[in-house]
């Protein structure tokens, strides 16, 4: 990659989020195809990066692309172009499946190119947008060579049928629905265990504590566990350690976690939110359940828990599905084509 980037991908949020994870995953793959750098706080040191001050003072010798994924980043791109007179083509990717505020709609109208992560998200942009679904890096997310050994290394039961649910612990993610299902299913299925990973913010501490109290009262504290926020490499290993993944969210913009699980050869259960219905092949690579419906989730979990052969076959199908249809390389190439089109505009 040249020293002077052609594309800047801002990340104006310190805390790990889905958007930040997207930037971290995509940039190294895109950097093989075009001169791209991230800018902003809280990014891994190995990521191709330029300081924000430098992104704001790049020479005006040619057009470049400013690829925003948040309102703040769209607004900063406008400031750079209109106030500081930097030659940026403005591009925005949206995952939101809701009507945007007036300010957001105004920002969207100022963009030179729009991308939506799902057809549903595209419908809320009120302008033509190209749909490019997220992909995963199948060289990072892949089935482990020895799952039992990996589990022992992670301090997990090598003989369990292990269900995972990864993401922030809050009602939006349907964590309570999975706990409720676990309380019903686990007493009759001694091999089954559930692990949650993800941060518990102060405003959701009461929610998490109430769930823990229910788990403790049922005597299942050693089989339904909250592991907290994990470093990235450890999170990937926990995906690889699973037998089954559950994403019973009540709302989701896109929802990458089932795809990451499936890339590791793990069948996934997802509700009818975000992109889950497009990612999970119902009955083949997992199950789609009704949003907010604990009974539907419980039935799907019981099906996969009680049929080891079907679960293992679904895991193999899930990996093949991701490799064929949802690799990060496909996503990266599609975005780089838009960058190239913007850079080639007269």
Written in H, E and C, the secondary structure of 82-122 is HHCCCCEEEEEEECCCCCCCHHHHHHHHCCCEEEECCHHHH
Query: 101 is written with which tokens?
Result: 């505020």
Taking only Cα atoms into account, the Rg of the chain, rounded to an integer number of angstroms, comes to 21
Question: How much of the chain, in percent, has pLDDT values that exceed 70?
Answer: 99
User: What are the structural domain ranges in the chain?
Assistant: 7-135+327-344, 147-325
Q: Are 270 and 250 in contact (CB under 8 A)?
A: no
pLDDT of residue 22: 86
**pLDDT of 141 higher than 50:** yes
pLDDT per residue as tens digits for the range 272-323: 998 899 899 999 999 999 999 999 999 999 999 999 999 999 999 999 999 9
Query: 292 is written with which tokens?
Result: 């907010």
198: left (phi over 0), alpha (psi -120 to 50) or beta: left
pLDDT per residue as tens digits for the range 107-138: 999 999 999 998 889 999 989 999 999 999 99
pLDDT of residue 1: 43
Tell me 255's DSSP state.
-
Question: How much of the chain, in percent, has pLDDT values that exceed 90?
Answer: 86
pLDDT per residue as tens digits for the range 167-182: 999 999 999 999 999 9
Q: What are phi and psi of 29, to 5 degrees?
A: -75, -45
Q: Are 129 and 114 in contact (CB under 8 A)?
A: yes
- The CATH number corresponding to 7-135+327-344 among 3.40.50.2000, 3.40.50.740, 3.40.190.10, 2.10.109.10 equals 3.40.50.2000
Q: What is the mean pLDDT of residues 153-171?
A: 97
Say which residue, 2 or 59, is predicted with more confidence.
59
DSSP 194-205: EEEES---GGGH
**pLDDT of 98 higher than 60:** yes
**pLDDT of 2 higher than 60:** no
Taking domain 147-325, whether its CATH number is 3.40.50.300 is answered by no
Pick the range with the lowest mean pLDDT from 66-70, 155-159, 225-229, 232-236.
Answer: 232-236
Asked whether the domain spanning 147-325 has the same topology as the one spanning 7-135+327-344, the reply is yes
pLDDT of residue 90: 98
pLDDT of residue 25: 87
- Across 227-290, the runs of DSSP E, i.e. the strands, are 244-247, 268-271, 286-289
pLDDT of residue 120: 86
For the entire predicted model, the pTM comes to 0.81
pLDDT of residue 240: 98
pLDDT of residue 16: 64
Pick the range with the lowest mean pLDDT from 76-90, 113-127, 203-217.
Answer: 113-127
H/E element holding 68?
A: strand 64-68
Give the mean pLDDT of the chain.
Answer: 94
């Amino acid at each position: 990659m040249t020293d002077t980037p052609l594309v800047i991908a801002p990340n104006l949020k310190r805390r790990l989020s889905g958007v930040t994870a997207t930037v971290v995953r995509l940039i190294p793959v895109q950097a093989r195809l075009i001169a791209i750098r991230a800018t902003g706080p809280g990014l891994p040191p190995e990521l191709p990066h330029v300081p924000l001050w430098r992104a704001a003072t790049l020479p005006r010798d040619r057009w470049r692309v400013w690829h925003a994924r948040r309102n703040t980043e769209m607004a900063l791109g406008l400031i750079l172009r209109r106030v500081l007179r930097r030659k940026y083509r403005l591009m925005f990717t949206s995952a939101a499946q809701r009507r945007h505020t007036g300010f957001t709609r105004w920002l969207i109208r100022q963009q030179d190119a729009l991308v939506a992560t799902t057809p549903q998200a595209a419908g809320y942009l009120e302008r033509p947008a190209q749909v490019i679904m997220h992909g995963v890096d199948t060289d990072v997310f892949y089935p482990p060579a020895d799952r039992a050994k990996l589990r022992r290394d992670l301090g997990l039961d090598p003989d369990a049928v292990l269900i995972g649910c990864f993401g922030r612990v809050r009602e939006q993610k349907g964590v309570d629905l999975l706990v409720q299902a676990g309380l019903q299913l686990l007493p009759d299925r001694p091999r089954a265990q559930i692990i949650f990973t993800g941060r518990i913010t102060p405003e959701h501490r009461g929610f998490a504590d109430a769930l823990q109290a229910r788990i403790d009262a049922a005597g299942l504290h050693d089989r339904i566990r909250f592991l907290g926020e994990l470093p990235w490499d450890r999170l990937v290993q926990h995906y690889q350690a699973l037998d089954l993944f559950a994403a019973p969210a009540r709302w989701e913009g896109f929802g990458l976690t089932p795809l990451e699980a499936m890339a590791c050869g793990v069948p996934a259960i997802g509700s009818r939110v975000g992109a889950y219905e497009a990612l999970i092949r119902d009955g083949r690579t997992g199950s789609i359940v009704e949003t907010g419906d604990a009974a539907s989730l419980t039935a799907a979990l019981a099906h996969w828990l009680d049929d080891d052969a079907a679960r293992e076959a679904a895991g193999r199908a899930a990996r093949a599905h991701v490799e064929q249809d949802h690799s990060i390389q496909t996503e990266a190439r599609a975005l780089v084509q838009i960058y190239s089109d913007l850079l080639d505009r007269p």
